[in-house]
Structure 1
Amino acid sequence: MTAPESAASRVWFITGASRGLGRAFTEAALSAGDRVVGAARDVAPLDDLVARHPDRMLASSLDVTDRAAVFDVVEHAVQHFGRLDIVVNNAGALFAGMVEEFTEAEARAQLDINFFGALWVSQAVLPRLRAQGSGHVLQISSIGALGGFPSTGLYSASKFALEGMSEALAAEAAQFGVKVTIVQPGGYWTDLYTSSRATSPNPVYDPLREELAKQWADGSVDSEPRLAAEAVMKLVDSADPPLRLLLGSMVYDVAFAISRQRMETWAGWEEVSRAAEKAVPAPS
């Protein structure tokens, strides 16, 4: 891996920068001597970083679900630092509940934050990155995008949507020198779960909830956000970053297990799949 020549003068735009992984990414970028625009609904937790790095840290209040506000904040960021180099779509939330339990408002809120927020930021920064012929967009996805899991179905849906959009974005932006990486973290000690919102529980799912609670109590392997930030710094320093990057042994193993299971299922139904297609001339 080789670092870009302009590494010392990179400008980051990080959403959800005030806590969790976003805070860790912000601190790592500042420690590397880079400049950061940290965007969050509540920027008060960033006051200490602004005080320590007044010339290199800009805190911007932002609700990523507000498309017009996103474009305004990105414009202000460019005016302040002159350019953007690394964009981290990290803002997100978890709405927990069985698929059947979600109200329309809850389902839309989950997609608004995790998918549409990242879409608005991606749309806002692309003209700038295209014009300068460089840039790296990091879409912070999740282990939840590897498959659907009980009680996090809408969260997974939002991350599946993010990844599908980001794959297309990567192919579209490559011709302009802009890179896109989908980062898939496993468990980290952030407040994603403690700040999560829950649906009104349907009692028919109580046995499943109890079983899930036992699994989670016995199987936590969460790590320090600092380790994710160290991996991200290696990623942005690479001259040839991947489209996808798994963060953590647990998510790495789960990704391969799910992929193998899918391949085995597809192979088992190969005859049916192939029989469902036979090219014929276009109807007259």
Structure 2
Amino acid sequence: MRPPRSPDAPHKPKRSWPPRDKSAPRRDFPRDHDGPVVLYGFHSVVEALSNPKRRPIRLLATENALARLTEAGLAERIAPEIVRPGAIDRLLTPDAVHQGLYLEAEALPALTIETIPEDGLVLVLDQITDPHNVGAIVRTAAAFAVDAIVTTARHSPEATGVLAKSASGGLEHAPLVLVQNLSRALHALGERGYLRIGLDSEGPATLDETGFGSGGIALVLGAEGKGLRQLTRDTCDRLARLDMPGAIKSLNVSNAAAIALHVARRAKPL
């Protein structure tokens, strides 16, 4: 019979089973919001290195990828570590397309609601959690010169990894504003003169028919399937829909964002 454990004996941590394979590739990125941002892929890395506000920490590059960076005049921004593609593969998920470039960098300076221009064009994301969708929205927002993308610190993907790759460099041009409470953030936008328009399939008018006024515009998008939460709907000034003449009446949220921004930018040109 095993003798009883002494209360002064050091505690041994329980082992998990099966044991973790330390040689297996990393499957996710750090959840520490203060940690480095992971960027990979040619466009994402090039835009980051071209952005003087983005401070690079570590760059891994294959010889071919470094040659492309040299052609773009960006090879001198940070001394790269020349590696084989497999070294980058082991740092990313199996389906990641890195094109021979992997960059760790500091997060961009955070914006607040108060620093957004009073007459700007803003996207507000209500718990859209898919990093591919959010990344595509960021890319579209950068194309339409959106002043900021407001989203919650929780229930939203971090601006790293898959999201950054899907944004294809858009993170350097469409600032993210992380808030703790979306309803309060919408109230703050309203106090600054923003017209808050929630996109809703049951909106009483189409977005084209909605008047945009002369102040700032905040387009509010909900998650696919769930749409806008009730409190978010109640905080919007107006609800508007995107009419689809075809057999399919709904769009991927990133496609809906592109159409909504096209309509809003026509009403609010640069």
Q: Which has the higher helix share?
A: 1
TM-score (norm 1): 0.31
TM-score (norm 2): 0.32
Q: Which has the larger radius of gyration?
A: 2
